[in-house]
Structure 1
Amino acid sequence: MTTLKAKLQEDLTAAIRARDELHSSTLRLTLSAITNAEVAGKEARVLSDDEVLKVITKEAKKRREAAEAFAKGGRPEQAARETAEGEFLDTYLPKQLGDDELDAIVAQAVAEARAAGAEGPRAIGAVMKIVGPKVAGLAEGGRIAASVKKALT
């Protein structure tokens, strides 16, 4: 059983052999982010696959935000590259939930929170606590928050 980090390293080797500059540079940056996460804190440790997924998710989000910023700044070539890198990183992530699936999970959580006595604006935190673990890694925080706010209004 190979770990996700080992798979990234194998894919990096293959990308370098294929002289695929986009994929090799993206994988190098992602692996260095994983290494930085491993040595952060008081003592070095090896990240679990779940923790590696979180790093990849963060890196993919950075690429999407950078692509937006480059597009607004009138630099379409850079925006296209960042978008391509983000899409490549997305191939390592679990399939994201669709809006309908996310809304259904949020609606169920809202019902649970209301049953527990959470009402009004304070219910947002209670609902997020219920939804968070169910959709971890399957939807971005901003999408989850927007869906919760929509369900509570």
Structure 2
Amino acid sequence: MSQLKQLITNDMKLAMKAKDKEALKAIRMILGAIKQKEIDERIELTDGQALSVIQKMVKQRKDSISQFSDAGRTDLVDIEEAELLIINNYMPKQLSKDEVEAAVIKAISETGADSMKDMGKLMGVLKGQLDGKADMGVVSQLIKAKLS
């Protein structure tokens, strides 16, 4: 079992003992998504693969929060935000905006990118370096600003 999955399982046991229903619900949701991916692909997920499942859950929660806010459904926004807080506990430490900007500048100089045509190449390089550590939407915006 991957270390990340073991950590989540241990946290689930702690939430059960503490009778923390909200945390338990969110943790079970995470474990369910990881288990579903394992069943679908008939493999045991590595930490990196489990992290990508968690990243997808974070993105889904952020999208839901945005849509529920636009619809004026604050009750559902509160639920999604609570789940997002718990899910974020399993994400790696996020880089600061300055660190992300430095990585973008470094990648631009390394690849020799000078126009928007090179955006795909840059995103490919940066995705490997920053995946899980930075919001790739923010990275994309920074690249566009630097190459414009």
TM-score, normalized by length of structure 1?
0.89
Residue of structure 1 equivalent to 2:94? 96
How far apart are the structure 2 equivalents of 1:122 and 1:89? 35
Q: Is residue 152 from structure 1 mapped to residue 147 from structure 2 by the alignment?
A: yes
State yes or no: 1:3 paired with 2:3: yes
Query: 1:68, 1:110 → 2: CA distance?
Result: 32
Check the 8 A contact 2:2/2:46 in 1, yes or no.
no
Which one of the candidate residues 114, 122, 146 is aligned to 1:119? 114
Q: What is the CA–CA distance in structure 1 between the aligned matches of 2:43 and 2:115, rounded to whole Å?
A: 42
Structure 2: gaps (5+ residues): none
Aligned CA-pair RMSD: 1.6
81, 84, 101: which one aligns with 1:83 = 81
Q: RCO (CA 8 Å, sep 6+): is it higher in 1 or 2?
A: 2
Tell me, in whole angstroms, the C-alpha distance in 1 between the residues paired with 2:128 and 2:88.
Answer: 20
1:34-45 mapped onto 2 (5 Å cutoff): 34-41=34-41, 44-45=42-43
Q: Structure 2-normalised TM-score?
A: 0.92
AA of the residue aligned to 2:145: K
Q: 8 Å contact 2:30–2:54 — kept in the other structure?
A: yes
User: Is the aligned partner of 1:47 residue 2:42?
Assistant: no
Moved over 6 A (4+): none
Structure 1: runs of 5 or more not aligned: none
State the aligned residue count: 148
Deviation at 1:96, TM superposition (A): 0.9
Percent of residue pairs identical: 30
